Amino acid sequence: MRTSDVGVLGSAEVADEDVPHGSLHRGRTEPAKSGSTGTFLGRYVQPSHGVSNGGPATRLPLGALPALGAEWTCRRLLPILPRSQERQPILSSHGSTGERTTMLKRLLLHALLVAGAVAPAAAQRVPTPLEHFGFEIGADRKLANWTQLTAYYEALARTSPRVKLDTLGPATKGQPLVMLTITSPENHARLQELREIQLKLADPRKVSGPEELERLLDAGRTVVLITHQIHSTEVGSGQVAARLAYRLAASDEPRVREILDNVILLQIPSLNPDGTQWVSDWYMRYVGTPYEGTAPPWLYHFYVGHDNNRDWYAFTQVETQLAVEKAHNAWRPQIVHDIHQMGSTGARIFVPPFIDPVEPNVDPAIVAAVNQLGSYIAAELIAQGKQGVVINAIYDAWTPARAYQHYHGGVRILTETASARLATPIEVPKERVRGGREYDASQRSWKFPAVWEGGTWRLSDIVDYQESAAMALLVNAAKNRRYWLENFYRINERAVKGWPEWPAAWVIPADQPNETGLAYVLRILTMADVEVRRATRPFSAAGRRFPAGTYVVPMQQPSAAFAQTMLEVQRYPDLREYPGGPPKRPYDVTAHTLPLLMGVEAIPVSRWDNGPPPLSGPIPVQPFRFSLPEELQGPRAPRIGLYKSWQEPMEAGWTRWLFDQYGLRYDTLKDARIRAGDLVRDYDVILLQSQSARSIRQGYPPGTMPPEYTGGIGDAGAEALRRFVEEGGRLVAIEGATDFVIDLFGLEVTNAVAGLSSRQFYVPGSILRADLDADHPIARSVGPRTHVWYWGSSRAFDVADPAIRVVARYGTGNPAASGWILGPEAIAGKPALLEARVGRGSVVLFGFQPNYRGQSVATWPLLFNALAGGAPAS
């Protein structure tokens, strides 16, 4: 059986001594075995397009491209990677075969345990959490790790006929990602029938008429997906999963019976099981020491840290792919409950309604259902005497990066509970209790009716609030089963009819210069169950002629809202704290237009010139491979070092992810190696991702973390980097790290927006136009214009030294292409990308982020070209 058949997944061989199970190791590429499907690792499922036979999904690389015939490559933007240099999909990023074999054995053992766990349960007593873990869930200074938690879920499935346990697949570093299905034994007996009902309600085109609809509404069950601990330091979310599962598996209380009879609960007890293990182990190691309650000094998702909850439309990470394929798309839940934690000094728990703005492609009935359900949960919590419950504050519903279900007929209920110091209690004096966006925590109001007066806050409080909120949600889903099913159907029915605001279709030309971007856009759409078809004959639309084979996205389909929000330009509203005041800060970012991020053309067609063209069925998926420029391959490729501090920014993790997808060779450089000096002996180019100069130089202060994790590169490291460049190396710095480089070399460059208030200049995550010097080697293959990602850590430059080359400038006038910008004149026409010669070497300064969350394909070549310009080894 081929590797791809069994779904063995992994990442490049880049292990780190900071992660509990690895050692510092240089990234390597390996020859592909026969039958290897490519280098973009992960899972991909062919969209079902109405097929609901429950059979195994086709497993393909993440970068799967629908095509007619031949395999797609990225030959125009980047040369094809020779077969001898393709990366081999491996299970773990640790280098040795023995380690990979050990991980395989562990996963196979887990699969066997799960297979036993899903067998019909005999009449056994369900073990309590206390009996299994030896402590109560929520106890002070106690955290169950992922190994202990999965063993408990296996025990629940063995002993309770209400519980079924499935392993969805291995996470990035090999821990099993599992899902519990909890419902009555009677519902379990007809689970496939209930899933087929759900998929029919998700696609009204499959419902023959009112009589069948009535039968489906009578027979169906509300499907609820609860996801836990995507952010690993939000430990209560992961711990409460066990307590909630036990209650539903064992309790005979009437409301539990009502839930089991009327609801199918899909529970993913950790969306980042690797991080659950790391954080629990780290915490328990330092309990009773001065470092108790600290978080691990590395990203708690191996690649993307906190940004794993910004991946719900790009699907870059294996955990996201598994959840979308095996839970969201397989079941199309009416309700998704995402359990999080927040800061410690404000409200005790947030529940929707969300604050404005709401993304315009979210159906009004979804917004109303979110408001109803969130308000119900808040009312239940307050009725139980819980203080500090806030609604309609802090969090908005703008970006699809956090709300996949809002574009697939269902609601997302986010809860955010106040944190302790992991499992260590904290004291919050009354005078330190303060509010946040849109509420005052010291004053009662309609959205904050019961003030929390401060005091001790512990993990047991967190899990109590979280369990109570989840139970209230499930009770609502059970009592209002008919409402949730019918509302879901009507939302999807409106999508199938098409909204007046939507075009008739989107047209995506098949012959585009940026084939990588085209492949990526199509993979995203099809993975999200968007039906993408191909014209079988030439046609005319929007004043243009298109050949046969052109991609067409009809906008009368269940997932049309997802297609629309991903393909259109965002116009974020100009919201102010008060008239004429500073801007209201979005919770995340304001733009997500895939064609601009990925350098692809997509044309909205409001009406067909001569009727719609004949179209193929929904396209299948075929693999494509990311391929490196020739300059980054082979023995003459530059030796690359990627700096990784103990305060590693997420952008550095995203860069490691990008390099690993391409099979790019690089070393991970820690503070000690940089301080050791003589860098030019081993490296031709060193990359500093977006990080402040202070963080690079100083790191964690002494006493705040165990000594081996404190300090930065220091003066010795700064001097080593200076000598590296002067002796012929290239230093590439991005966003905040440019301040460090400018100061280190005394460059006549300043940050043009430093010191400006948000009233004067504000770009909270937007896509901007940029003009390039097409003759410069860094701009090679990109062309004279592109779109770049700009947000709070980005820079625009003023350059006084004429010898410094300007590679790119922000567009003139108003450079905004999608999102929100205030005061565009502050950066219009300003330098955005610079190259300066220093001694025998050079420095490259990126003012924008060339690898925004693994999505900005349009600017990846700029980063690769900057790396390729490093002097090759002699």
List Cβ neighbours of 174 (8 Å cut-off, separation of 6 or more).
Answer: 10, 91, 92, 103, 106, 107, 274
Please list, residue by residue across 492-529, b when 16 or more beta carbons sit within 10 angstroms of its beta carbon and e when fewer do: bbbbeebbeebbbbbbbbbebebbbbbbbbbbbbbbbb
Lowest mean pLDDT among 79-88, 472-481, 775-784: 79-88
Q: What is the pLDDT at residue 28?
A: 33
Strands 685-688 and 730-734, by their bridges, are parallel
Please list, residue by residue across 46-64, b when 16 or more beta carbons sit within 10 angstroms of its beta carbon and e when fewer do: bbbeeebeeeebebbbbbb
Output the average pLDDT for the chain.
88
Q: What is the pLDDT at residue 410?
A: 99
> 93 near 8, Cβ under 8 Å?
no
Give per-residue pLDDT as tens, 202-232: 999 999 999 999 999 999 999 999 999 999 9
Q: At which residue do the structure tokens 């007996």 appear?
A: 189
Q: What is the pLDDT at residue 124?
A: 85
> 466 near 401, Cβ under 8 Å?
no
* Count helices and strands in the chain by DSSP H and E runs: 24, 30
Task: With cut-offs at 50, 70 and 90, classify the pLDDT of residue 99.
Answer: very low
List Cβ neighbours of 640 (8 Å cut-off, separation of 6 or more).
Answer: 659, 664, 665, 666, 667, 683, 684, 685, 686, 687, 867, 870
| Strand partners of residue 499 | none
Q: What is the pLDDT at residue 630?
A: 86
Task: With cut-offs at 50, 70 and 90, classify the pLDDT of residue 627.
Answer: confident
State both tokens at 258: 């009502």
CA–CA dist 863, 755 (Å, integer): 28
Q: φ and ψ at 257, to 5 degrees? A: -60, -40
Give per-residue pLDDT as tens, 729-747: 999 999 999 999 999 999 9
pLDDT mean over 473-499? 99
pTM: 0.88
Given a cut of 60, is residue 248 above it in pLDDT?
yes
Lowest mean pLDDT among 131-135, 280-284, 348-352, 435-439: 435-439
Give the single-character DSSP code of 8: -
> 232 near 145, Cβ under 8 Å?
no
Torsion angle (degrees, nearest 10) of CA 572, 857, 60, 225: -20
Query: Which 3-state string (H, E, C) describes 111-165?
Result: HHHHHHHCCCCCCCCCCCHHHHHCCCCCCCCCCCCHHHHHHHHHHHHHHCCCEEE
Given a cut of 70, is residue 51 above it in pLDDT?
no
Task: With cut-offs at 50, 70 and 90, classify the pLDDT of residue 78.
Answer: very low
Domains of the chain (ranges plus CATH)?
148-496 (3.40.630.10), 501-605 (no CATH), 631-868 (3.40.50.880)
- Over pLDDT 70: what percentage of the chain? 85
Q: What is the pLDDT at residue 620?
A: 76
Beta strands in 586-704 (DSSP E): 603-605, 640-643, 667-669, 685-688
Q: At which residue do the structure tokens 């009449």 appear?
A: 123
Q: What is the pLDDT at residue 109?
A: 55
Task: With cut-offs at 50, 70 and 90, classify the pLDDT of residue 105.
Answer: low
Task: With cut-offs at 50, 70 and 90, classify the pLDDT of residue 108.
Answer: low
> 793 near 736, Cβ under 8 Å?
yes
Closest CA to 495 of 612, 410, 372, 590: 410
CA–CA dist 495, 488 (Å, integer): 11
Q: At which residue do the structure tokens 């202990």 appear?
A: 148
State both tokens at 385: 């005497």
Task: With cut-offs at 50, 70 and 90, classify the pLDDT of residue 21.
Answer: very low
Q: What is the pLDDT at residue 624?
A: 62
Residue count of the chain, please give it.
874
Give per-residue pLDDT as tens, 642-701: 999 999 999 999 999 999 999 999 999 999 999 999 999 999 999 999 999 999 999 999
Closest CA to 792 of 770, 819, 761, 771: 761
| Strand partners of residue 797 | 751
